[in-house]
Amino acid sequence: MELRDVVLVAYGRSPCCKARKGGYARTKMNAIDYTAQVVRGVLDRLPQVKPEMLDDFIFGTAATMNALAMNAGRNVVHRAQLPDSVPAFTINRYCSTGLQAIALAADAIRTGEMDIVMVCGAEDMTNSFGPLDMTHMNQWLLENRPDSLTPMGITAENVARRYHISRRDQDLMALQSHRKAFAAQQSGALARSIIPITLPDGSVQTEDEGIRPDTSLEALAALEPSFLEGGCVTAGNSSQMTDAAAAAVLMSADRAAQLGVKPIARYVGFAVGGCAPDEMGVGPTVAVPKVMEKTGLHISDMDVIELNEAFASQALYCIRTLGLPEEKVNPWGGAMALGHPQGATGIFLTIKALDYLQQNGGKYALITMCVGGGMGAAGILELLER
């Protein structure tokens, strides 16, 4: 069977708001509502595709509870007032959920099972993230594989300690993340794909909230460790808790031509891999080599690299181990400045990478992240001539 080319034809995202105190939390906005606005906003950018033409809607979130409980993807379809004929399902691969949604859609399209698929990811960290109730944890895992339940902050401490990532280097990376993100925000680069969200109080959210242009190395160094007494991982050199949503539309290249849709990028490949759960942050060092081998490409071919900054310690380890050119990594800042809305992050990083290529030139984008439980994911897209 000959596989079809898959192209990404439209995308957009909400502004990233601070969990528990940002725009969505302050106005008590339901996550389904801001996600539905993103879905409608992306479809509005693609007038050739009517909603009833969607073969499927793949939705991802890392916490399928509260507003995003049940089959949340189907609820988003209903709230966005798409036709009942549009099916939906919900997936979860933690931090790589959005990228996984893209890969699943691409697989269905290139094998001929579907023609047009919308992918979407969202996270409501305001209402869905808190301390685990250990009474629900599996007893066998507690006794035999307690490492599989290692809190994410402790995994970051483990990486820092085992691989000699200094506190100063972590804080310096955090500072650079904010500086790069602020520069991108000020230039309007981040606004390219933001879909303004109308809040319940009638105001409109148009910008990401987490960027701190006035932070300094001294301010970051003064922060106390967040997860371990005497540790080096702080709120400043960790990803921010964020509420946000992102979406994209993929289709076969043939269908795009039939509809007169000009593709933005071609889907090239995707890979996942496993690693020790108590140092889950090293996951990209497993996944990136796999996707390079699958696609026949090399890191040197990449023109931009979006490496999720779950924690500075793990991001620095991955940069150094993989030999990633630092000038190509997160040129518009990363999760320490912009946030990490887990279910949306994979699509958000894809959007950021493609926007960067369109503005600055280049061909290939690598999107990669570590994944809770001890995994890594990586995907490659090719920008097409616009």
**What residues act catalytically?**
95, 340, 370
Rg (CA), the chain: 20
């990209």: which residue's tokens? Answer: 284
Residue 248 structure tokens: 């994209």
Q: How many Cα atoms are found within 13 Å in the side-chain-facing hemisphere of 134?
A: 9
């007032």: which residue's tokens? Answer: 81
CA angle 148, 368, 235 (to 5 degrees): 65
Three-state secondary structure of 284-333: HHHHHHHHHHHHCCCHHHEEEEEECCCEHHHHHHHHHHHCCCHHHECCCC
Beta partners for 161?
none
Grouping H, G, I as helix, E, B as strand and the rest as coil, residue 261 is: coil
Q: Distance between CA 91 and CA 41 in Å, rounded?
A: 22
CB 180 within 8 A of CB 331: yes
Reported in sequence order, the residue ranges of 61-163 that DSSP labels E, i.e. its strands, are: 89-91, 116-124
Distances (CA, A) of 370 to 249, 271, 282, 323, 349: 24, 12, 6, 16, 13
b/e burial code for range 327-341 (CB count within 10 A of at least 16 → b): ebbbbbbbbbbbbbb
Give the amino acid at 210.
G
Directed axis angle between helix 152-162 and helix 312-322, to 10°? 50
Closest CA to 21 of 204, 242, 276: 242
Q: Distance between CA 245 and CA 228 in Å, rounded?
A: 31
